[in-house]
Structure 1
Amino acid sequence: MSASEREAPQPHPQPVSMRDLLASCAAASAVSTPPREPDEKAEAAGPVEKRVPRRDAEQDAA
């Protein structure tokens, strides 16, 4: 290591806000967690389209 490398100031990392830290943890968890297996009760109930009532266009406009 040369003298100029030893004398060069080391960059200090910038502080990370708690919000950014929590957001990065949530993102890492979301991409690293495999999808859950569907519940047996949900499969027995049928497709989602038949279990959840559709909203009318009139409700959307209101």
Structure 2
Amino acid sequence: MSVTERDATPPRPLSGVSMRDLLAACAAATAVSTPPRAPEPSAPRTQERKAA
């Protein structure tokens, strides 16, 4: 097979995996692996009452 024939062949789609499922899996992996965001310094802090 020559280089031009190989380049003209369209890529095969993944069998059994839809783009929607692939994107959902990527979003889930990102959500699980991303640490929670730190609170912004300008946000008001809540004060807890100490039990006496």
TM-score by length of 2: 0.53
How many pairs does the alignment contain?
A: 33
1:21-60 C-alpha deviation (Å, 9 max, x unpaired): 0000000000000001100111xx344xxxxxxxxxxxxx
Using the aligned pairs only, state the percent identity: 64
The alignment yields a C-alpha RMSD, in angstroms, of 1.7
Could you list the runs of 5+ residues in structure 2 that have no partner in the other structure? Answer: 1-13, 47-52
Could you list the runs of 5+ residues in structure 1 that have no partner in the other structure? Answer: 1-12, 48-62
Task: Mark the structure with the bigger radius of gyration.
Answer: 1
TM-score by length of 1: 0.45
